[in-house]
Each structure stands twice: as structure tokens, then as C-alpha cells.
A and B are shown apart, each in its own frame.
Chain A
Amino acid sequence: MEIIISILAGIIFAVAVYNLLQKQMVRIIIGTVLISHAAHLFILTMGKLKRGQPPILTEGITSYTDPLPQALILTSIVISFGLTSLMLVLAYRTAKENNTDNMEQLRGKPNE
């Protein structure tokens, strides 16, 4: 199971990087969303997907799931959620002020 999820995370990474390398702003933002999903999926896989009961002490159970990756993902999800909304607003304002959403045209002029 871990192998399959790892491959899935790898595919999402590849799709995300492809999107990050596009010229349109919204596509780039979709790329960052996807790449954060891939990273989160990957953290989950690193703690092994299912290897026991929920991590609450109960009598008669010896194997528990590792709670740490889940805690890490929660933190990371919240951060990437906030950042995505910030980036959408920023991209909207940038596109409005500069009259383009094409990154090629946002390079700036020489000797500015």
C-alpha cells in the first residue's frame, strides 16, 4: 500500500511541477496547491499508513498508529491553505495592476 501511495505522490509532484512552470498565474497557483497535496500525502506515507489501532492507550492493544505524521500534516495543511488564499488575492491584484496574468510579461524592464 505504501508503495502505491508513494507512486501517487510522485505523480502529483510531477503534475504540480509541470503546472508551476506554466506562464499563467492561476496555473502556477494550482501547481503550488498540488505540490502541497503531494507533500502531505508523502508525510502520511512516511509514518506507515495503517499499522495498528488509534493512538489512545487502551488495555490489550500493543500496536498503535504513529500520530506524529498526522500532527505534522495538520500544521502543514493549515499553512498551505492560508498561503493559497493569500496567493490568489495577490495574483488578482497583480493581474489587475499590471493588466496581464502572463508571467513572461512580468519580468520588469532593464534599468528600472
Chain B
Amino acid sequence: MNNLAIFPIIFPLLAGTILAFTHSNIKQSRSLAKFFASGNLLGAIYLVYYVSQNGTIVLETGDWVAPYGIVIVMDMLSAILVLTTNIIVVAAIFYAPHSISMKQEKHYFYAFFFFLISGVSGAFLTGDLFNLFVFFEVLLIASYALIVLGGDKVQLRESLKYVLINVFSSILFVTAVAFLYGVVGTVNMAQIAERVQEVDQQGILTTIGILLFFVFATKAALFPLYYWLPKSYIVPNPVVSAIFAALLTKVGIYSIIRVFSLIFVHKLDMTHDMFIWIAGLSMIFGVIGALSTNNIKLIIAYNIIPAIGFIMMGIGFYNRAGMSGSIYYLVHDMIIKSALFLLVGIIAYVAGTSDLRKMKGLINSYPLLGWLLFLAAFILAGIPPFSGFIGKLQLLKGAFANGEIVIGLIALGTSLLILYSVMKIFIRGFWGEQTPQQSIDKKSISGMVGPVVFLLSCSVILGIGAEFFVPTIDSIAEYLLDPQQYIDSVLKE
């Protein structure tokens, strides 16, 4: 049953290819896309079950024994991330027909969408550093096509910057892999980890580690490398923004988790201590950005950055509570960020603008939308009993276990400001008297609200059912803190 591990990569790839052929028939494309997304979700659920019962699946492609061939490694961390990805994909696919224009759908939207998912799943599953680069490129090239879909003036302008920054960081990635290959003579992550351990991570290896960190931090939008993110994430269609916010930056942070819990773990004072400060600065600068603007899409886009900071903080602590907090927060943030982007997409659609100063009184016409935003803000900021709270609780436990009081206080302060920045949309956009014009042209949003309700209920279940999820995530954290388990399962010694 080893071949199962490649299912989340192959299936979207096939789906994308089929959808590329049916692009001119929109009705058929829509129903096929919904079918493929649901099938992929079912597959991912089964995979999580299978991995939890039987342990890590290692697929040696073409029967080339690791470390010589390409390996696909599906451990519990990859499995739950693939599952979360597919939950978001289902919501996005059901939302898409109501949000994007027919013309955009005709221009291969669904095909690129599934290629993107294939790349994301591949990045989560690969056990080979060079293959990680290849899957990054797969998802990035699909994202270049999606971000420019529509071809507005603003969109073209921002996509060019997005493409340039990503091309540059990809080239740095290849260079870092070349350096690493020159020193340790392999690109298989398990074997790299083994060899780095043997030489006790000498100076040159730490330097390469930091170079890799630079690459992943650019993709994940950490301080000070986040400048490209906010503006380029608000120009495409809301459904594309939601997928980008939920998946692309998270692939970057996943790579950091993987590389800095498996390979570069022998000089914690050089690498992980720095992460804590970068995490703190990301939180502060991200939330300042969110407070500084009146554009509702930009508020949510800036909120990505402090979330990445929270996840980074747990990696920096490198203890059990911190790591499990990071993983929990990663899953939580993927779901809630996509829900928020979809919600804000609806708000901008019904208000006809994304400028907060030009909208008010929306709650009169759209009460459900208002309360959904209210709930989403609570989940995002981490009000108990929702999922943000559980993640932050674990992270703060990690902070106090390591005696890092300052960063804990920064995290708490940031949470309050995050709540304020999203509540601002609720207060200024939904309260007040509505203009007569608004009550006349009430728009139908029932098709768009469904997927958001689905995502928010997943998030609520994640929070209320924490009793059920936390032991699994704790065991993943323990697994990550012991790199030998990963090495043994891949190299089978």
C-alpha cells in the first residue's frame, strides 16, 4: 500500500489535465471540479486514517532504494496538512462559480487550480530537498497563472513583482541546494540529516541552513521579507487570494518546520534563538500593517504576517509545547485565513467597494454575513473555546517553559490588536444606518455563504474538539523533536 502516498499528488494532476480539456464547457468543468475536489478530500481522510494506524508511509519511486531514488514520505504531519489543504480546496471550488466571471473560468481557472494543489501536496510529501524545489516551482507557476487571471492594470503590475520575488528566491533555493550537495553529497533529506549530525553541524552547514531559511522566509513572508505579500495578495479574485493565503505561505513555513526540526538542529543558539526574534518582529510589523489601512482585503492580507510569526515562535522554542502549538496553529490558520478571505470577498461584493470608509449598515441587509465575520474574528484572535485559543495556549506554554517572557507578552498584545483590526471591519462596515441605495439592490449571496459556513464549522470543531485533536498533535511534536525516527523510517537501518 506504499503507492497510496503519491495519491494526493497524482490525483489533482490528473484532475487538472482533464479540466484543461473541458475548459470551454463551463457547466461540465464546474461539476467535474466539484467531483474531483470531493474525491481528493475523501482520499486525504483515508490517508490520515491509514497513517495513524500504520505509521509513516515511505514510497521509493521506481523501486530505487533511498537515498538513491526520489522518496515520497507521508508522516502524520504531512498527512494532516494534506487533509487541511483538501478541506480548503473543497470550500474554494464550491465558492468559485459564484465569485469569478465565466470568462475567467473558461481561461483554465480549474486546471491551474488543481495544478496548484498538486504542487502544494507534493511540497508537503516529498522527502528530497531538490524535489521540494521542483514542487515549489509547480505550485508557483500555477500561482503565476492564477494571480494574473483577469488581466487588470493593477493585477498585472502586482503580479510582475510577485513573479520576480519568487523567481529570485527560487534561484537562491537552487544555489542553497547546490551548496548543501557540495558539502554533504546528497539531496535526500534523511541522509542530509544523518550526515549533518555526524559532523555536528559545522560552521559552513549552519551558513547553508540560514541561506535556506532566507529562501523559505521569503516564501512564508516573515519579517523583514514580507513586503511583497500584502499588495499582491489582494489583487486577484477572492477565491484565489484565499487559496494563496491558506496554502502558499504555509508551504514556506512547513518547509522551515521540516528543515529546522530534521536537519539543522545541532546549533540551536545560532538558528532557533534568532527565529524567536524574527517571529516577534513579524507579529509587531504585521499587526501594525493591519491597523494602518482601511482596505478590508488589505487588513486580512496583513493579518497573515503575525500568524506566520506565531507559528515561527513555536519552532524557535523547539520544545514539545512550542512545536505542538506551532502545528496546531498552522492547521487552524490555514482554515481560518481562507474563511476570512472568502468572507471579505463577499463583503466587498455586496458593498461594491473594499474601502471601509465607504460602507456601513450592512448588517441590516446581510445579518448572517455580519455574524459570520464576528465569529471568524473571535476564532482568529483566539477567544476561548475556539481553535486560535488552543494554539496560542500551547505556544505560550512553550514560551514560559523556555523562560521567554518578553515574546509571550508580545504575542498576547498582538492577539488583542488582531482582534481590533478585524472587529474594525465589523464595527465600521456593519453597524450604523444603511443608505437607501443599499436596501434597494440587495444581492443574493447564498451560494457564497455555504463554503464559508463549512470552513468556520471545521474551525469550531477544531477548537471545541481540542480534547480529541491535541494528543495527536502532541505526538507529532514529539516525533519532530526526535529526527532519528524520520531518518530510520526513510533509510530503514
Contacts and interface: CB of A to CB of B under 8 A. Distances in A.
Nearest to A41: B178
Interface stretch (B7-15, B77-85, B179-187, B408-416): B179-187
A91 interface: yes
Interface residues of A, number: 34
A32 B160 contact: no
Interface string A90-107: 110110011000000010
Interface residues of B, number: 34
A98 B134 contact: no
B157 A32 contact: no
Contact of B159 (A36, A90, A112): A90
A13 B334 CA distance: 36
Contact of B134 (A20, A39, A75, A111): A75
A46 B134 contact: no
B141 interface: yes
B327 to A, nearest CB: 30
Interface in B104-142: 130, 133-134, 137, 141
Contact of B182 (A32, A46, A87, A90): A46
Contact of A47 (B130, B163, B181): B181
Contacts of B174: 36, 39-40, 43, 72, 76
B67 to A, nearest CB: 11
Interface stretch (B34-42, B146-154, B198-206, B421-429): B146-154
Contacts of A90: 144, 148, 156, 159-160, 163
B175 A79 contact: no
A8 interface: no
Contacts of A69: 178, 181
Nearest to A106: B157
Interface string A32-73: 100110011011011100000000000000000000110010
10 contacts: A32-B171, A39-B174, A43-B181, A46-B181, A79-B170, A86-B141, A90-B163, A94-B159, A108-B157, A112-B154
Interface of A: 20, 25, 28, 32, 35-36, 39-40, 42-43, 45-47, 68-69, 72, 75-76, 79-80, 82-83, 86-87, 90-91, 93-94, 97-98, 106, 108, 111-112
10 nearest interchain CB pairs?
A46-B182, A43-B178, A94-B156, A46-B178, A39-B174, A97-B153, A39-B175, A106-B157, A79-B137, A39-B171
